[in-house]
Chains A and B, each alone.
Chain A
Amino acid sequence: MLTPDPLLISVTIFVVAFFVGYELITKVPPTLHTPLMSGSNAISGIVLIGAVIVAGRGHSDLGIVLGTGAVALATVNVVGGFLVTDRMLRMFRSRESQQRRPKAGSPSDSPQDPGDKR
């Protein structure tokens, strides 16, 4: 049986995913564009997986050095990106949830968040 070129499969996946992303992100309202950017940035930290493969394959010393550097950089991207996005989104409150807790202290440090319980 003939199998398609793996590059062609990769490109197909890329194109389809790009269009899915385009459709989804067009619907994100401007008010959430900053969290969208930091959140999607965290998703691009997916290259951590590639970094893990390169660092853990134990191929050569140079590979390990490059891989470990990539793991560290991508982890900053993933961990920092998701956490800071969550911190921002926690601040987006509706009028009702604000009335339930009229005096907001430091929003970013409160462990309990009213906006979460809806």
Chain B
Amino acid sequence: MSDQGFLDLINGLYIVAAILFILGLKYLGSPRTARKGNRLSALGMLIAIVATLVSRDIIEYEWIAIGIAIGAVIGIVIARTVKMTAMPQMVAVLNGFGGAASALVAAAELIRSVDLGDVPLDVAIIALFSTVLGALTLTGSLIAFGKLQGIVTSRAVLLPLRNVVNALILIAIIGLSAWLVVEPNQPEIFLAVGLLSVLLGVLLVIPIGGADMPVVISLLNSYSGIAAAAAGVVLQNNILIIAGALVGASGLILTRIMTKAMNRSLANVIFGGFGATATVADAAGTPGERPYRSATAEDVAMILGYSQSVMFVPGYGLAVAQAQHAVKELAGLLQDRGISVKYAIHPVAGRMPGHMNVLLAEADVPYEQLLDLDQSNPEFVRTDVAVVIGANDVTNPAARTDPESPIYGMPILDVDKARAVIVLKRSMATGFSGIDNDLFYLDNTSMFFGDAKSSVSDLVTELRQLD
């Protein structure tokens, strides 16, 4: 085959891969077809990699084989062993690795251009962009990983003048990069840009509190895609550009969904340092001062057992207590009594978008029972009992009714509209926002105190005795 024909063949295979990626994402639109979608994407990836391996750019295979072998072993091991509760950490690490790979590719390409003595202006600019973005995605992701894993404090670490320092670092990166574009052959300046980017990644994520991690992970996801696309521009490789753009879009959408669900702007998450301290503790009085009703396991089992419809409202507290399986058992008992059971899931119920759904799916809850915000809110008026487990701020009616409240306007689950509300909680303490929850003091609300897992297990025991 002629060289041109061969090149056309490879580019044709890249188009096939791009189509498979797009179809794969399309099939992710429904739980029924999602698994097939993921496989199509994986097939697209395989085709793209094989096409690249046989292309005539490649003259040495030894190092590629070593790299792939190492990466594949690590990938297989972590994918098989990671716990579903640790999925946000896993995605954070993968984002970081993807970003680092993009940075290394762009750096290598820039170095080669310098060696060849011909550095086109656009190549230099985009290679530097990809290096900077990839490097800060790496360290930002590693810090996010550390916070989620509990290695780095999940509290917001607020360094003095942090925004000024970050701005100065960014200016330095841009200034040095501009110098490199004009005079590319300065390895030490290039190294400095890389190191500053690595530092910036750390400084950008360290002031962000643990509860904001869903936003950070989504944003880093977007960055890793854009860094890959930029590396694709440098290499003039279209499949890299297409796939990177798809991922960039995905991360951006998820970022927007998360910030909206938290009633925050992206700028507020990044620069605000929310979650460093309970800033608004006194906004709605000291928790527990108003009268509330508490119930025993027996009371709650009675209410549940004689209802017709139950809506569980899980929050991250449920995952922390590992109560998913106990809840599923309780739901099974209720269903055996002919009671309809559903789950209302707020977008920020977990530590990343959709996390709670995965945890419940792992506990064998069928996906038809998992309702999102828009699906569940009209249901509450028709629900006999809403059972809130380990969720707090996302159920606070003040977000709907009290313009003075700091969370006013935040989309919440309208739990208060159910006929009866049971709140499983350790104590009357406030949630992440630091404000008291009006839901706890409503006439139709009963508080059931204790650890989520043992409380639910008690309910299972009580319900078994109920007849």
Residues of A at under 8 Å CB distance from B?
Answer: 6-7, 10-11, 13-22, 24-60, 62-64, 66-95, 98, 104, 107-108, 115-116, 118
Contact = CB atoms under 8 A, between A and B. Distances in A.
B108 interface: yes
A43 B41 contact: yes
Interface stretch (B96-104, B161-169, B196-204, B313-321): B96-104
Contacts of A76: 71, 74-75, 78, 94, 97
B262 interface: no
A76 B61 CA distance: 18
Interface of B is mostly: helix
B389 interface: no
Contacts of B21: 43
B447 interface: no
B362 interface: yes
A43 B64 contact: no
Interface stretch (B109-117, B147-155, B174-182, B295-303): B109-117
A116 B111 CA distance: 47
Contacts of A79: 71-72, 75-76, 79
Contacts of B249: 17-22, 25
B45 A78 contact: yes
Contacts of B98: 41, 44-45, 47, 73-74, 77
Contacts of B84: 88, 91
Contacts of A27: 26, 29
Most buried by B among A10, A31, A118: A31
Contacts of A17: 18, 241-243, 245-246, 249
B254 A92 contact: no
B28 interface: yes
A86 B78 CA distance: 13
Nearest to B346: A30
B157 to A, nearest CB: 25
Contacts of B267: none
A30 B232 contact: no
Contacts of A66: 104-105, 107-108, 111
Interface in B17-40: 18, 21-22, 24-26, 28-32, 34-35, 37-39
B241 A13 contact: yes
B42 A52 contact: no
Contact of A51 (B76, B104, B347): B104
What are the 3 tightest A-B residue pairs by CB atom distance, in nearest-first order? A75-B71, A71-B67, A33-B354
Contacts of B108: 54, 62-63, 66-67, 70
Contacts of B75: 75-81, 83
A102 to B, nearest CB: 10
B189 interface: no
Contacts of B158: none
B396 to A, nearest CB: 20
Contacts of A46: 45, 48, 228, 232, 239-240, 243-244
A82 B41 contact: yes
A55 B87 CA distance: 31
Given A56-B57, A73-B97, A95-B366, A37 B217 contact: yes
Contacts of A13: 238, 241-242, 245
A55 B64 contact: yes
Contacts of B358: 34-35, 88, 91
A84 B244 CA distance: 20
Contacts of A43: 21, 24-25, 41, 45, 225, 243, 246-247
Contacts of B94: 38, 41-42, 45, 76-77, 80-81
Contact of B22 (A24, A67, A91): A24
Contacts of B357: 30-34, 92
A67 B57 CA distance: 14
B115 A37 contact: no
A80 B241 CA distance: 21
B339 to A, nearest CB: 15
B390 interface: no
A118 B364 contact: no
A32 B253 CA distance: 13
B45 A91 contact: no
Contacts of A60: 111-112, 115
Contacts of A63: 108, 111-112
A39 B68 contact: no
Contacts of B30: 29
Nearest to B364: A104
A21 B358 CA distance: 23
B231 A47 contact: yes
A40 B250 contact: yes
Contact of B67 (A69, A83, A89): A69
A43 B74 CA distance: 17
A19 to B, nearest CB: 8
B78 A31 contact: no
Among A28, A47, A60, residue most surrounded by chain B Cβ atoms (within 10 Å): A47
